[in-house]
Chain A
């Protein structure tokens, strides 16, 4: 199977602009998560989508948003860019057991597979 793909790989924007990043999961995977990696904060969870629904959200301002399409591809959007948004943005896809969503109390077996990332520079 092809791996997780992300586009674009590199992006340069200026403060105040907005940006949209795209992620295509591994075929058959319905869960897509987004992470931000910076030298100061490390890897931080942004949000997770499953079957077009956001199920989990990290501690980021509302300028960060996302969506998932019916084919499981996902996009994230950052509006009103700030210098501190410069980072490597990674997405990951996984295949939860039974593809039926979360099952409370059941140990999970979903390994997350990461894409190559989009390196965003805000000037």
Chain B
């Protein structure tokens, strides 16, 4: 099956620093999403980005589908950015859907 690998597994930053999180996937995908899981377990959508670049405030994401990777950029990090960031893909084989395959996540800790 498809492999989704995220790096780095852990990241510690000082408030105000920038960071780049990476997601590699082993097969063509029709759906790629980035999520932030807060300390209470809630998964919050950041981006739906099967290809191209999107920006939302201090966050931006780029997916290069032909090279099978996606990047999440966090600029001017804040302590509230702490948590686990997940990349998830959906193969959509034969029209199947709703089956997101998650990477193991990047645990981000932003220190004041």
Residues in chain B within 8 A of chain A (CB atoms): 30-31, 33, 35, 40-45, 48, 50, 86, 88, 90, 92, 94-105
Contacts and interface: CB of A to CB of B under 8 A. Distances in A.
Contacts of A108: 30-31, 90, 92, 97
A114 B42 contact: yes
Contacts of A43: 86, 88, 100, 102
Interface string A78-105: 0000000000101010101000011110
A56 B70 CA distance: 26
Contacts of A102: 92, 94-97
B33 A33 contact: no
Contact of B97 (A35, A37, A96, A114): A96
Interface of A: 31-33, 35, 37, 42-45, 48, 50, 55-56, 58, 88, 90, 92, 94, 96, 101-104, 107-114, 116-117, 119
B41 A42 contact: no
A108 to B, nearest CB: 5
A12 to B, nearest CB: 16
A102 B100 CA distance: 15
A35 B99 CA distance: 9
B105 A42 contact: yes
A38 B98 CA distance: 20
B7 to A, nearest CB: 15
